[in-house]
Amino acid sequence: MTLVVTGGTGFIGSALTRRLKEAGHSVRIVSRSQGHNILNPDSFRKEFEGAEVIFHLAALVQSRPGPFEEVNLSGLRNVLEAAAEAKVRKFVYVSSFTVFGPSGDGIHNEEDLGDRTSFFHDYDRSKYLGLQLVEGWRSGLPTNIVFPTVVFGPGELTEGNIMVRLFQRWFSTRIATLPARGLVEWNFVYLDDLVTGLINLLERPAGEDFILGGEDASLRSVAEQVRKAGGKRFFVVGLPDWAFRASCHLEDWSSRLLGEAPLVLPDTADFLLENWCFNSSKAHELLKYRPRPLFEGLE
């Protein structure tokens, strides 16, 4: 099968590309490192010709402000237009768990997508508006939408691989400082399990959407499991909200001084103080999706 992966050299895209090639598929990569630019359709349109399925992962993911709307909306529109023009059999759009909004005291499933009028940051807003854009194309472009949760796993330490960068900091500084006293819960999925879910989607009809997540866990539990899996000691400190917000300002200042990508910023503090819990039972049933336990992934 001839497939295209946009963002095919990124954190998730590179793992997906490798697995697809191992499965015997012909894979074309659309990425900046290959000379493509999704803001310029002429740079990638030829790659879509004759393709059966397009996985669209290319997006701007970073902590600091940037042209999120330009890349994640205008670029997405260009890709949708080129995919429709190429008459692909299926378009797989990799969205984000953030589009649902916080889960509060519940657990989100695919039916919980609703109208949102407020957003935590520009990335959050761009992914939500991108979802609306894709929905508007579904009548003319066979589409599946996938919502990965918080992804962790081996790979290049890009801003998309934020959890491994965080784990490494815990090891190097010997301390894990956690928001909301470490009591908030997020859903974590191991990279290879997410990729398996995406590949299994090739056998499903268009029109179906799936949350591809793993295990819900409190941040304190994650830190303790990282400590055990890594075999290294570090202190786990749950910060009250005011102290966590102060630490975000310190992170902003120190990352600018060192010229590094920050892990957290004052503008993202509210996002990190919320619960983000998800149910992947639909994928379990229809995709034979079997994500491994969190600790096994961390090991």
- How far is it, in rounded angstroms, from Cα 197 to Cα 202? 9
The residue whose two tokens read 């803001």 is 39
- How far is it, in rounded angstroms, from Cα 95 to Cα 98? 9
pLDDT tier at 45, thresholds 50, 70, 90:
very high
- Residue 267, pLDDT > 90, answer no
pLDDT digits (tens, 9 = 90+) for 76-91: 999 999 999 999 999 9
Buried/exposed code over 137-163 (b: 16+ C-beta within 10 A; e: otherwise): beeebbbbbbbbbbbbbebeebbbbbb
- How far is it, in rounded angstroms, from Cα 178 to Cα 192? 26
Strand 215-218 and strand 185-190: pairing? antiparallel
pLDDT tier at 275, thresholds 50, 70, 90:
very high
- Residue 207, pLDDT > 90, answer yes
